[in-house]
Amino acid sequence: MIIPELPGFLSNLGGAEYKGWIIALFTLTAGLSRPISGRLADTVGRKPVIIAGSVVCIICSSFYPFISLVSSFFLLRHMHGFSTGFTPTGTSAYLSDLIPADKMGAAMGILGFFSSLGMAFGPFLGGYVASWYSVDFMFSISVLFSVVSVAIVFGMKETLVQKQKFTWKLLKFTKDDIFEKRVLAPSVLMMLTVFGFGTVLTVIPDFSEFLGLKNKGLFFSVFTVSSLLVRIIAGRASDKWGRIIVLKIAITILIAALVALSLADSFATFMIAGVLFGIASGINSPTLLAWTVDLCNPALKGRAFATLYIAMEIGIGLGALVSGYLRGNDPEMFSVVFLIAAFFGLIALIYVFQQKSD
């Protein structure tokens, strides 16, 4: 909901040249918190980890309207990253406890469907509320959605059978908690493919304005809606045909989407690129999640998902930093940053062709 408006919000604070850090700082904290969330999900339980992330959203979104300094804004973005560091890890582990292995792709597709539904509705609603009311009111609405999410989780049954009581010692982690070596391949692919997502999150709001679009969240809504249409189908396809072949298709479409963005000079081309980007994301994400479950130690699902999501944060963060730095405020650099993201997609395609078919 708030992402499309954050570049303008930061510019009003006098930090226009630091737009690349909006996503990068968020993902940095998310990545640093993943080992903790993974360990807690495997010990204390899935529910507390999910709730912790939502509570961070409530607190941070409540403080945005009171920010008046660039430094305060980035401190808050830094803290906000804990939400993504916790909630998806707990949610993915929770779902994997409920689903048999031969239906894992379909299940992750359903999870992705509802995640994408929020990501499609959020930017559109955020852009509408900010345009017709105020950015501060938009932050208040985001708080409301986070409160509702906490209420829902309280009504769910914990799926972790052997739980431990929380102690501060659980917050200490070793290198083994950071990396689950069994899920290296999906993690590498996640990092390479979401580089483009970090680029899109950072650059698209300005690119939308450059093309004359009033609602800077429109692209996000279009690519997310298109991802909705393929997520469940893609998850089932990976169960039937295997993870590798489906990933080859997804990454090829991703490259095409980013190249189309680099060439976009009209509303139609821009929207076509958004549709392709959504289809690629809708196929890629549930397939990588299901492949992670296939490869991981069942007793370390939290750690496995934490590893995958750390790779995701690295990829998004790098995409945001590189695109933000290169783009600056020069409209001539839009094509360049999208082509760089497409190059990372090409590396991912080469890597996946080196993997053994499953």
Q: 94, exposed or middle or buried, with CB in 10 Å at 0-12, 13-18, 19+?
A: buried
Over residues 242-274, the pLDDT tens digits come to: 899 999 999 999 999 999 999 988 888 999 999
Over residues 86-145, the pLDDT tens digits come to: 888 899 889 989 988 888 888 888 887 888 788 778 877 888 888 888 888 999 999 999
pLDDT surpasses 90 at 228: no
pLDDT surpasses 60 at 160: yes
- The one-letter amino acid at 145: F
pLDDT surpasses 70 at 357: no
pLDDT number for residue 262: 92
pLDDT number for residue 151: 94
pLDDT surpasses 60 at 358: no
pLDDT number for residue 191: 95
Dist CA 170 CA 65 (whole Å):
34
Share of the chain above pLDDT 90, in %: 34
Dist CA 298 CA 265 (whole Å):
48
**Which residues touch 34 (CB under 8 Å, ≥6 apart)?**
85, 89, 178, 306, 307, 309, 310, 313
Dist CA 166 CA 156 (whole Å):
19
Residue 77 pLDDT class (50, 70, 90 cuts): confident
Domain ranges of the chain: 9-160+177-353
pLDDT surpasses 90 at 161: no
For residues 239 and 171, which has the higher predicted lDDT (pLDDT)?
239
Query: In the predicted model, what is the mean pLDDT of residues 63-89?
Result: 87
pTM of the predicted structure, to 2 decimals: 0.75
Which of the given ranges, 6-20, 114-128, 332-346, has the highest pLDDT on average?
Answer: 332-346
Query: For domain 9-160+177-353, which architecture applies?
Result: Up-down Bundle (1.20)
Over residues 300-320, the pLDDT tens digits come to: 888 888 889 889 888 988 998
